[in-house]
Structure 1
Amino acid sequence: MNDRATPSDEQLVAYLDDRLDVEQRTRIDAAIAEDSVLNLRLQWLARSNLPFRQAYDELAQQAPVDRLQSMLDTLPSPQRPAVSRRWFLAAAAGLVVSGVLADRLFLGWQLSQQKSNWRGLVADYMALYVPQTLDHLPSDEATERAQLRTIDARLGLNLSPAQLALPRSEFKRAQILEYEGVPIAQITYLDPAHGPIALCATRSNSGSRHFAHERRHDMNVVYWADMEHAWMLIGHNPATELEDMAKVLRGRLGA
């Protein structure tokens, strides 16, 4: 990197990870001080908190090392580079990371993380709930409607207490959670047999999806999507019972 070159995103990530030598860091420090746009790029990379190293490590494992090594072995000795196997493996992995294939793999990995991350965040939060978290909350209809209006305003929904009623489980609270600027609606219930349940939603443009199941923190999760929102129902209820509830809710919500 010369004095006039603009640092790449890879160099800025290495800068943030403290993986540059003193001379390289000094050059980037000077470039940041002189270039406000570069400074903004660095701030964006720092705020994004994406696990770049983990992603690129996963890609490096997919490098076609054996095939490339066999190609190297076929070269006559005078043409064969005098490099160690460790250097060659690193270079092979670097070729994958720097190519179009790596770009596609990284984007696919990143998208898969984003799609499931909001459910993980909700599950982390719900793992802290016990019946006593909810049983003291008021459950009159006026309070419910006021809370639902807050959700409607943030997520473009039109919810009513009647749509959200579940057999046996008592509606306890509706609120907005937020993670990195992304709003998540959380509607909580108290089941007398299995404890807290939550119906959650966030905006999504990934298209309609049928019911799917997963387990997080020893809780069952049923999740689905309509054209504008992704939904999940989470609780300690059996998976089949939770899906029956989800079907009722989806039918009423048109989701």
Structure 2
Amino acid sequence: MNTPSDEQLVAYLDNELDREQRSQLDSAIADDPLLSLRVQWLSRSSLPYKAAYDELAQQAPLERLQARLDGIASPEHPGLSRRWFIGAAAATLVAGGVLADRLLLGWQAQQDHNWRELVGDYMALYVPQTLDHLPADEASQRAQLRTVDARLGLSLAPATLRLPGAEFKRAQMLEYDGVPIAQITYLDARHGPMALCVTRSNSGSQPLAHERRHAMNVVYWTEREHAWMLIGHNPAPELEVLARHLIERLSA
């Protein structure tokens, strides 16, 4: 079968496909590790739409909003699937502008968090053998970075991205739900796989912050139109030093 879209995979996860379509996808997922990983990402990173709506709806004109939502709900699907709730939230844009704005702002903050969770899920699968066989010539790196630059509006060079104690191994584009994410992977001599990742952001500039994901340390920040993160098994203070090294080079 053709490569399924994220919408088809969400329908698969929501059990909204017929038996034949589900059987085809079951076979495709079993045969394609990358497709299986996409399904895992979609399954693990579902936004809590209903919870967000319930919390904010306490301040809404409930009778008027409920009447509008009741007009949307399908009698064949009384349950709240992810796609159903997206439709309900869209209707709320008409019913209550202030509520909708606050709901969408909450979603945006959750998405800023979720893209790092997705990267953490992906990096948890890496071992040194994942990277040590990859070519590390500068011509290949420049070609890979040109793809990143074109998708994200950046201007990156191998020399800018070099890190002490770590070998630049690969730059590649990933995509989640239509959102492009660049992953620049390194093999650290002492701590193993490490990655610098970047996606577009409208959150404005934000300083360095730390978190832990899948037993790895993360340093993340935003700079104008892009959100960045550096993730690896390096100790947190060491990772911050590397992040500051990158920031200085990227802003030069």
TM-score, normalised to structure 1, is 0.63
| Partner residue in 2 for 1:193 | 190
Is 1:251 matched up with 2:240? no
Deviation at 1:59, TM superposition (A): 3.7
Give the direction of change, closer, same or farther, for the CA distance of 1:104–1:183 in structure 2 (3 Å limit).
Answer: closer
Instruction: Choose which of 133, 148, 155 in structure 2 pairs with 1:151.
Output: 148
Is 1:128 matched up with 2:122? no
Q: Give SS of 1:55's match.
A: helix
Q: Give SS of 1:190's match.
A: strand
| Partner residue in 1 for 2:137 | 140
Is 1:221 matched up with 2:218? yes
Distance in 2 of aligned mates of 1:228 and 1:246: 18
Q: CA RMSD, aligned part only?
A: 2.3
Deviation at 1:206, TM superposition (A): 1.7
| Partner residue in 2 for 1:106 | 103
Is 1:161 matched up with 2:154? no
- Which digits, 9 at most, give the CA deviation of each residue in 1:184-220, with x for residues without a partner? 1100000121110000111112211110111111111
| Partner residue in 2 for 1:178 | 175
Distance in 2 of aligned mates of 1:205 and 1:102: 20
Partner letter of residue 239 of structure 1?
A: A
Give the direction of change, closer, same or farther, for the CA distance of 1:105–1:156 in structure 2 (3 Å limit).
Answer: closer
Partner letter of residue 123 of structure 1?
A: G
TM-score, normalised to structure 2, is 0.63
Distance in 1 of aligned mates of 2:194 and 2:170: 11
Instruction: Choose which of 230, 239, 249 in structure 2 pairs with 1:242.
Output: 239
Distance in 2 of aligned mates of 1:246 and 1:234: 10
Deviation at 1:253, TM superposition (A): 0.5
Preserved CA contact (<8 Å) 2:47 2:110: no
Preserved CA contact (<8 Å) 2:171 2:184: yes
Partner letter of residue 108 of structure 2?
A: L
Q: Give SS of 1:247's match.
A: helix
Deviation at 1:107, TM superposition (A): 2.9
Distance in 1 of aligned mates of 2:47 and 2:185: 30
Deviation at 1:52, TM superposition (A): 2.8
Preserved CA contact (<8 Å) 2:210 2:217: yes
Please, which runs of 5 or more residues in structure 1 have no aligned partner?
1-16, 18-48, 64-96
Q: Percent identity?
A: 69
Larger Cα-atom Rg: 1
- Which digits, 9 at most, give the CA deviation of each residue in 1:50-80, with x for residues without a partner? 54322223446x67xxxxxxxxxxxxxxxxx
Distance in 2 of aligned mates of 1:119 and 1:175: 16
Instruction: Could you list the structure 1 runs, at least 4 aligned residues long, displaced by more than 6 angstroms after superposition.
Output: 97-101
